[in-house]
Structure 1
Amino acid sequence: MAIFSHDRHHWAYVWIPIAGAFLWFATILAMLITWLASGRPHYVSMDSDQHIAFISDVGADILKPLFITACSITGVAFILSLIIERYLRHSGRLMPNMRKRERVFSTLAILGSVIGGAGLILLSVFDTKRHPKMHDGFLLMFIVGVALSAIFTIAEFRWISKDFKYVRLLKKSYWMKAIVAGLLILLAIAFGVTEFTRVNVGAVLEWTIAFGFTLYVLTFWYDLRQSKGVHKGELSAERMGNSGRYQMRRAV
């Protein structure tokens, strides 16, 4: 019974990124369907030559309570996922940070998630119809925060994978994050260029980025579930440094 419970007590926190990603995806999909099903209305916050609504245009209307709720829960889930991942590495239930630089990257990734999560919540509260300039500022805050968090997380994982040979799951996580985050960053740059120059293209890119963000949040589910069946301290830095199974690489 003790082993059975230990194998499954990770489920409480592994559901955090799943819940955040599911609620985010469901909300964005509901907002898109609402706009399409209602005849593609032209909201007050839309430009005169704009034919495709931004997410913020829909979120500033009747669905604002839903939008605020989803942004708040998703933002908190995103932050908690990184904090829990950091705790599991520190407590020896995930591959550890062997050097100071990995711990610095992890801390910076958490800080980036806090900036991005706060931006996500605030952009939903200060909507584009009533506070357009503040909304744009918080949207930029969200994009930059998430991008920085992704870059530092990928850097941390990359250095850990350099420390240990044959860590297949960690390398998969690194590549998943790198591919998803890289595509989202490129799309975000394109969105920044087209938001004011080719507004309808910018709107399409924003919906695409929003749905893509779901995949990035889900990568943390893949990370956290790797602690299943691992006892506290089992993957501590001291034990891993002397482990022949993982064969730590020579420090550089």
Structure 2
Amino acid sequence: MSDTGTTPPESGIFGFMINFSAFLGAATMYTRYKIVEKQNQTSYFSTPVFNLVSLVLGLVGCIGMGIVANFQELAVPLVHDGGALLAFVCGVVYTLLQSVISYKSCPQWNSLSTCHVRMAISAVSCAAVVPMIACASLISITKLEWNPKEKDYIYHVVSAICEWTVAFGFIFYFLTFIHDFQSVTLRISTEINDDI
């Protein structure tokens, strides 16, 4: 995936888009956190710490996305790969924890079919992240252009396919929140204290 944004001017566009996506992801995760927190106050279904741990892991994943965006694959491969590992692993764990929360809140706050869809997406992402990491760790050199006859070519292809699978898994997972978000109103309030 990072191969698409390694050289200028694509690297600037790639970095901007990934940073923007990380911001939107963090906003979505925080919104989901607040919704679950409020639902849990209405009818207790899960310990609040479980929801908080999910949020923290999700935000760490978003920080990983920022690292990926700002440290190009060829320029600083170790930092870039560390950010990618954070983004993908924390992101997958986030989806798994949110799927468990969805099942615990069923049927009052989520339909069983929504819970199944979320868990299926999480399972596919989890199944893809393992070979992605394994194959990426077997690649001996980081480069842009590959020849099918090279020894690490198959690892590169499998890793790339799994990487895209997990990335689209995150997108589809967030789309399952649409129904939840339509039924709430969020407000930002400001209070000025006179005693300052």
Q: If the TM-score is normalised by the length of the shorter chain, which range does it land in?
A: 0.7 to 0.9
Structure 2 equivalent of residue 87 of structure 1: 34
For residues 134-174 of structure 1, the C-alpha deviation after alignment (integer angstroms, 9 at most, x for no partner) is: 1111111111211221122122222222xxxx548443332
**Which aligned runs of 4 or more in structure 1 are off by greater than 4 angstroms?**
94-97
Q: Percent identity?
A: 17
3-state DSSP of counterpart to 1:192: helix
Structure 2 equivalent of residue 189 of structure 1: 130
Structure index of larger Rg: 1
1:150 lines up with 2:91 in the alignment: no
Structure 1 equivalent of residue 182 of structure 2: 225
What is the rounded CA distance, in whole Å, between the counterparts of 1:209 and 1:127 in structure 2?
A: 20
1:98 lines up with 2:50 in the alignment: no
Contact 1:105 1:153 in 2 (8 A): no
Contact 2:132 2:159 in 1 (8 A): yes
What is the rounded CA distance, in whole Å, between the counterparts of 2:34 and 2:109 in structure 1?
A: 21
3-state DSSP of counterpart to 1:227: coil
Instruction: In structure 1, list runs of 5 or more residues that go unmatched.
Output: 1-54, 229-252
For residues 8-43 of structure 1, the C-alpha deviation after alignment (integer angstroms, 9 at most, x for no partner) is: xxxxxxxxxxxxxxxxxxxxxxxxxxxxxxxxxxxx
Instruction: In structure 2, list runs of 5 or more residues that go unmatched.
Output: 140-154, 186-196
Out of 63, 83, 87, the residue aligned to residue 138 of structure 1 is 83
TM-score of the superposed pair, with normalisation by structure 1: 0.60
Shift of 1:130: 0.5
What is the rounded CA distance, in whole Å, between the counterparts of 2:49 and 2:21 in structure 1?
A: 25
Contact 1:106 1:156 in 2 (8 A): yes
Structure 2 equivalent of residue 70 of structure 1: 17
Structure 2 equivalent of residue 39 of structure 1: none
Out of 66, 84, 90, the residue aligned to residue 121 of structure 1 is 66
Computed over aligned residues only, the root mean square deviation of the Cα atoms, in angstroms, reads 2.3
Contact 1:96 1:160 in 2 (8 A): no
Shift of 1:95: 8.5
Structure with the greater relative contact order (CA < 8 A, sep ≥ 6): 1 or 2? 1
Shift of 1:186: 0.5
